[in-house]
Amino acid sequence: MSSRAADVIPAADRRSPDRPTPDLATSDLPAARTARRGAAAVLLDGVLKRFGTVTALEETRLRVEQGEFLTLLGPSGCGKTTLLNLMAGFLEADAGEILIGGEQVTATPPYERQIGIVFQNYALFPHMSVARNVGYGLRMRGVPKREIAARVEETLALVKLQGFADRSPRQLSGGQQQRVALARALVIRPRVLLLDEPFSALDKNLRGAMQVELKEIQRRLGVTTVFVTHDQGEALSLSDRIVVMSAGRIRQVGTPDEVYRHPQDRFVAGFIGDVNTLPARLETLSGVRATVALGDLRREVEAAALRDRPPGSPVDVFVRPDHLGVRPAGEGGTLPARVAALVYQGSHIDLHADLATGERVVVRVPGQGALATHAPGTAIGLAVPQGGLVAFPPE
Partner 1 sequence: MTPAIRRRPFLPLFVVPAALVAIAITAGLAAILRFSLHAYVPGSLDVGGFTLDNFADLARPIVLRAMRDTVLICFETALATLILGYPVAYALVRTRSALLKSVILVTAVTPLFLGEVVRTYAWTVVLGNSGFINATLRQFGLIDRPIQFMFTEFGVVVALVHVTLPVMVIMLAAALAHIDRDYEKAAQSLGAGPVRAFLTVTLPLSMPGVVAGFTTAFAWTFSAFATPQVIGGGKVGVVSTLVYQLGLSSFNFPVAASLSLAGLGLALGTMWAVRRAARPLEAMGGH
Ligand X SMILES: Nc1ncnc2c1ncn2[C@@H]1O[C@H](COP(=O)(O)OP(=O)(O)OP(=O)(O)O)[C@@H](O)[C@H]1O
Q: CB of 227 within 8 A of CB of 238? A: yes
- Distance between CA 269 and CA 395 in Å, rounded? 13
Which residue lies nearer to partner 1 by CB, 186 or 301? 186
The contacts of residue 91 (CB under 8 Å, 6+ apart) are 49, 82, 85
Give least dist CB 222 to ligand X, A: 27
* Contact range with Mg ion by CB under 5 A, out of 23-31, 77-85, 111-119, 374-382: 77-85
Q: DSSP string spanning 155-168?
A: HHHHTT-TT-TTS-
- Distance between CA 25 and CA 7 in Å, rounded? 30
Which residue lies nearer to ligand X by CB, 244 or 382? 244
Beginning with the edge strand found earlier in the chain, give each strand of the sheet holding 54-64 in spatial order: 54-64, 42-51, 95-100, 103-104
Which residue lies nearer to Mg ion by CB, 200 or 237? 200
Tell me if 251 contacts ligand X by CB under 6 A. no
Q: Which does 362 bind (CB under 5 to 8 A by kind): partner 1, Mg ion, ligand X, none?
A: none
Give least dist CB 247 to ligand X, A: 8
Tell me if 77 contacts ligand X by CB under 6 A. yes
Strands 115-118 and 289-294: unpaired
The residue sitting closest to Mg ion, measured at its beta carbon, is 81
SS3 (DSSP) at 351 = strand
Q: Which does 117 bind (CB under 5 to 8 A by kind): partner 1, ligand X, Mg ion, none?
A: partner 1
Tell me if 56 contacts ligand X by CB under 6 A. yes
Of positions 51, 111, 125, 344, contacts ligand X by CB under 6 A? 51
Of positions 81, 246, 264, 276, contacts ligand X by CB under 6 A? 81
Binding site for partner 1 (CB under 8 A): 88, 90, 109-117, 119, 121, 123, 125-127, 136-137, 140-141, 184-185, 188
Tell me if 78 contacts ligand X by CB under 6 A. yes
- Distance between CA 309 and CA 333 in Å, rounded? 26
Q: Which does 125 bind (CB under 5 to 8 A by kind): Mg ion, ligand X, partner 1, none?
A: partner 1
- Residue 377 Cα distances to 322, 328, 339, 383, angstroms: 21, 13, 5, 18
Q: DSSP string spanning 26-51?
A: GGG-HHHHHSPTT--SEEEEEEEEEE
- Segment (H or E) for 258: helix 256-261
Contact residues for ligand X, defined by CB under 6 A: 51, 54, 56, 74, 76-82, 230
Contact residues for Mg ion, defined by CB under 5 A: 81
